[in-house]
Amino acid sequence: MKLSDLTQHAGEWLRGSGPRSEVVISSRIRLARNVAGFNFLSRCTRHQRQVLEQKVRQTILDASLAPQTLYVDLEQAPEVDRQLLVERHLISKPHAAAEGARGVAIGKDETVSIMVNEEDHLRIQVLRSGLQLQEAWDQINKVDDQLESKLDFSFNPRFGYLTACPTNVGTGIRVSVMLHLPALKLTGEIEKVFRAAKDLKLAVRGLYGEGTEATGDFYQISNQSTLGRSEDEIIEDFGDSIIPKIIDYEHHARKTLISEKGVALDDKVSRALGLLRSARLMATDETLLLLSHLRMGVHMGRVKDVDLGTINELFLLTQPAHLQKIQGKKLEGDVRRAARADYIRARLNGH
Amino acid sequence: MKLSDLTQHAGEWLRGSGPRSEVVISSRIRLARNVAGFNFLSRCTRHQRQVLEQKVRQTILDASLAPQTLYVDLEQAPEVDRQLLVERHLISKPHAAAEGARGVAIGKDETVSIMVNEEDHLRIQVLRSGLQLQEAWDQINKVDDQLESKLDFSFNPRFGYLTACPTNVGTGIRVSVMLHLPALKLTGEIEKVFRAAKDLKLAVRGLYGEGTEATGDFYQISNQSTLGRSEDEIIEDFGDSIIPKIIDYEHHARKTLISEKGVALDDKVSRALGLLRSARLMATDETLLLLSHLRMGVHMGRVKDVDLGTINELFLLTQPAHLQKIQGKKLEGDVRRAARADYIRARLNGH
């Protein structure tokens, strides 16, 4: 598998095909692990970091954890490739921007990725379309077990897995769900969700994780600390209680919009499609917002002639690195915005 | 002729067919006249005002100044009809809003209108599409002569025609030209035109005259005082020197846009058409702005599949009173905005 094979489709996280996908974009679980006998990365020398990366890389590839695993050496990879991996949610922004020996192993269907030398020695991630936390948990458990049979992970009988940041100590788990909540945004009720999430000690973030704004009405909700609770408790809490409640709120808001503000709703959706089909210059943020309104319109049955798969793909393929990969050249400023608008028009006007 | 006959087309002022109509919407001349032996209106009793209105109305209709002249009694006319006449530039906003005996006589093709009991006893107006000041002047001169053969106008050998406001004393003439200057607005050079106009003691106003904002990139330029200059001087100055210079500036700005910002220009024009063809709610101001960009795009050859006549008609027929007349009922708020959007879509999508 080559990196360029990834650019032709939306990947797992925006496939838009899983359960409850009218609201839930994707479910993600990641585990933080460190290899015993090595310092945490902040205390590693350049050389130790290299040795560690070699060791973990070899273990992953030997184990054939996923057949046709692609390993990307991020120290060598050009910026556009690192940006592409961020856009696909396969590595984090800090991992892309860091220096020194580091990499990522990606399973064939992009559900599994393992970041090597991010904040911890290993960050194992499973990402699935729609609401599939239990499936993600079963999958990541197997990967974790396979790796643990080859690597000795830092573990303390009292605290659990040891991690670079204390918030991850214990299970080292972070569970997050990416939600599309355009109706709650339009009715203004999204603030209530934020307050409820805060009371439950959950973090609400934007499309690209920590420190990013909520663009295009996408909200990533995740647990903040892991100490003192079992993985099963966290996952059950999320998948069976918290997320279904938010989904219900969003559905309620959608019904309210239809019954009380049908014309204003259609205006928003129809303007979004009109602009996407006619603009000659299109910035990333405006694209996300318009696609968000369009996605809502299709899911609510207000737009009939646009394919949902196309919309989901456009969310990703219009991102800067994807656009440049598709065009095969560096694009900046208005040239990039023009290329994006041209690409969107071609896809949505069906030629 | 009935008032409702007017609502089906754009009227003279937005016909968009006269000379230099790519920039000049219309040319207008009005003369202020008062009848000797009557006080100025501010000093008339209610009864005197009635007597005056009867006398002038009868004179106009007897003289058959224009065959098939329509006289509208504005004291009796419903608000929507008065608003309709304002939108067609046949009466002024203050004339629509005033109280007491007053009216307007309108010639068949709407080039001539005579307001009775506005600020002066008579305000004679000739309005022509495009840059036609000399033609307007010849036409209004004939109307003025015909009226003066039946009515004794207040005239002072030293000052000329006497008027209610000193700025009109002398010839009583106001010459104004409505310009469409979207490129100068987009390049930011419109401020230079304003400064030059100010130096020349000209007034720059919006679409509906005194006290109105410049909406949709329409600017009305007119002389401010009349004393001490002949009509011919004023008209020559306007038609042969000032206006052609502004037209040249606008053409220059359009060329600059094409050569330096072609994609941004097409983006603006194409988005305007996309929104007009897709919105489900449309406010008056946004309509004017989008139609303005579309009109520019058609005149500059950037849009091929939209008829200029349709655009010119839409400027007028989407105004509040016209819209209500077309629909045959009172429309307010979102219902009116929805009706406007529906009407625009139907016209621009060709069904």
Q: Which three-class secondary structure string do you get for A20-45? A: CCCCEEEEEEEEEECECCCCCHHHCC
Contact B264 A277 (CB under 8 A): no
- Strand order of the β-sheet with A112-116 is A70-73, A103-106, A112-116, A122-129, A24-33, A173-180, A218-223, A202-205
Residue B114 tokens read as 């005579």
Instruction: Provide mean pLDDT across the span B174-203.
Output: 91
Contact B274 A278 (CB under 8 A): yes
Q: What is the pLDDT of residues A32-71, one digit of tens each?
A: 999 999 999 999 999 999 999 999 999 998 876 556 789 9
Contact B334 A263 (CB under 8 A): yes
Question: Residue B351's pLDDT is what?
Answer: 47
Among chain B residues, CA nearest to A336: B263
Does the structure show a pLDDT above 50 at B22?
Answer: yes
User: Which amino acid is it at B17?
Assistant: S
Residue A261 tokens read as 């503000």
Range A193-200, long-range pairs (CB < 8 A, 24+ positions) = A193/A219, A193/A246, A193/A249, A197/A221, A200/A242
The answer to whether A29 is annotated as binding is yes
- Partner residue facing A263 (CB), from B264, B266, B281: B281
Q: Which residue has the higher pLDDT, B39 or A13?
A: B39
Q: How far is the CA of A307 from the CAs of A48, A210, A314, in angstroms?
A: 50, 31, 11
Does the structure show a pLDDT above 70 at B10?
Answer: no
Write down the residue that tokens 């997320």 correspond to. A243
List, in order, residues 6 or more apart from B247 with CB less than 8 Å away. B20, B23, B24, B131, B179
Separation CA A31–CA A129 (nearest Å): 18
Residue B277 tokens read as 């063809």
The answer to whether B343 is annotated as binding is no
Does the structure show a pLDDT above 80 at A340?
Answer: yes
Of B217, B177, B222, nearest to B203 by C-alpha is B222
Contact B334 A281 (CB under 8 A): no
Q: Which residue has the higher pLDDT, A133 or A10?
A: A133
What percent of chain A stands above pLDDT 70?
Answer: 93
Separation CA B56–CA A246 (nearest Å): 72
Contacts of B275 in chain A (CB under 8 A): 271, 274-275, 278
The answer to whether B28 is annotated as binding is yes
Question: Residue A206's pLDDT is what?
Answer: 78
Contacts of B341 in chain A (CB under 8 A): 267
Contacts of A341 in chain B (CB under 8 A): 267
Angle, nearest 10°, between helix axes A308-317 and A320-327? 90
**Residue to test with chain B: of A268, A270, A273, most B Cβ within 10 A:** A270
Q: Are A317 and A7 in contact (CB under 8 A)?
A: yes
Contact B264 A278 (CB under 8 A): no
Contact B281 A270 (CB under 8 A): no
Of A20, A90, A22, A31, nearest to A239 by C-alpha is A20
Separation CA A219–CA A292 (nearest Å): 12
**Dihedral of CA A120/A124/A130/A133: which sign?**
negative
Helix, strand, or coil (residue B26): strand
**Residue to test with chain A: of B278, B294, B303, B306, most A Cβ within 10 A:** B278
| Phi and psi angles of residue B156, each rounded to the nearest 5 degrees, phi first | -120, 130
Among chain A residues, CA nearest to B266: A280
Residue A347 tokens read as 């896809």
Q: If you average pLDDT over every residue of chain A, what do you get? A: 90
Does the structure show a pLDDT above 80 at A222?
Answer: yes
Write down the residue that tokens 């969107």 correspond to. A344
Of B277, B263, B300, nearest to B183 by C-alpha is B300
List, in order, residues 6 or more apart from B44 with CB less than 8 Å away. B38, B52
Contact residues, chain B to chain A, C-beta under 8 Å: 263-264, 266-267, 270-271, 273-275, 277-281, 334, 338, 341
Q: What is the pLDDT of residues A236-282, one digit of tens each?
A: 988 999 999 999 999 999 999 999 999 999 999 999 999 999 999 99
Contacts of B279 in chain A (CB under 8 A): 267, 270-271, 274
Q: Are A126 and A114 in contact (CB under 8 A)?
A: no
Instruction: Provide mean pLDDT across the span B4-13.
Output: 69
Q: Are B28 and B136 in contact (CB under 8 A)?
A: yes
Separation CA A104–CA A158 (nearest Å): 30
SS3 track for chain A: CCHHHHHHCCCCCCCCCCCCCCCEEEEEEEEEECECCCCCHHHCCHHHHHHHHHHHHHHHHHHCCCCCCEEEECCCCCHHHHHHHHHCCCCCHHHHHCCCCCEEEECCCCCEEEEECCCCCEEEEEEEECCCHHHHHHHHHHHHHHHHCCCCECEECCCEECCCCHHHCECCEEEEEEEECHHHHHHCCHHHHHHHHHHCCEEEEECCECCCCCCCCEEEEEECCCCCCCHHHHHHHHHHHHHHHHHHHHHHHHHHHHHHHHHHHHHHHHHHHHHHHHCCCCCHHHHHHHHHHHHHHHHCCCCCCCCHHHHHHHHHHCCHHHHHHHHCCCCCHHHHHHHHHHHHHHHHCCC
Contacts of A274 in chain B (CB under 8 A): 274-275, 277-279
The answer to whether A294 is annotated as binding is no
- Partner residue facing B274 (CB), from A264, A267, A277: A277
The pLDDT-based confidence of B91 (bands split at 50, 70, 90) is: very high
Q: What is the pLDDT of residues A269-301, one digit of tens each?
A: 999 999 999 999 999 999 999 999 999 999 999
The continuous run of DSSP H or E covering B249 comes out as helix B243-260
Burial of B167 by CB count in 10 Å (0-12 exposed, 13-18 middle, 19+ buried)? middle
Of B176, B187, B253, nearest to B212 by C-alpha is B176
Of A339, A324, A338, nearest to A79 by C-alpha is A324
Contacts of A260 in chain B (CB under 8 A): none
Q: What is the pLDDT of residues B195-235, one digit of tens each?
A: 888 888 888 887 766 555 567 789 999 987 666 778 898 89
Contacts of B267 in chain A (CB under 8 A): 279-281, 341
Q: Are B42 and B164 in contact (CB under 8 A)?
A: yes
Contacts of B271 in chain A (CB under 8 A): 275, 278-280
Does the structure show a pLDDT above 80 at A165?
Answer: yes
**Residue to test with chain A: of B265, B269, B280, most A Cβ within 10 A:** B280
Q: Are A334 and B264 in contact (CB under 8 A)?
A: yes
Contact A264 B281 (CB under 8 A): yes
Angle, nearest 10°, between helix axes B243-260 and B190-199? 170
How much is the ipTM here? 0.87
Q: If you average pLDDT over every residue of chain B, what do you get? A: 90
The pLDDT-based confidence of A8 (bands split at 50, 70, 90) is: low
- Strand order of the β-sheet with B202-205 is B70-73, B103-106, B112-116, B122-129, B24-33, B173-180, B218-223, B202-205
Contacts of A270 in chain B (CB under 8 A): 278-280
Q: Are B181 and B191 in contact (CB under 8 A)?
A: no
Of A19, A24, A32, nearest to A231 by C-alpha is A32
The pLDDT-based confidence of B4 (bands split at 50, 70, 90) is: confident
Separation CA B181–CA B184 (nearest Å): 6
Distance from CA of A52 to the nearest CA of B (A): 51
The pLDDT-based confidence of B3 (bands split at 50, 70, 90) is: confident
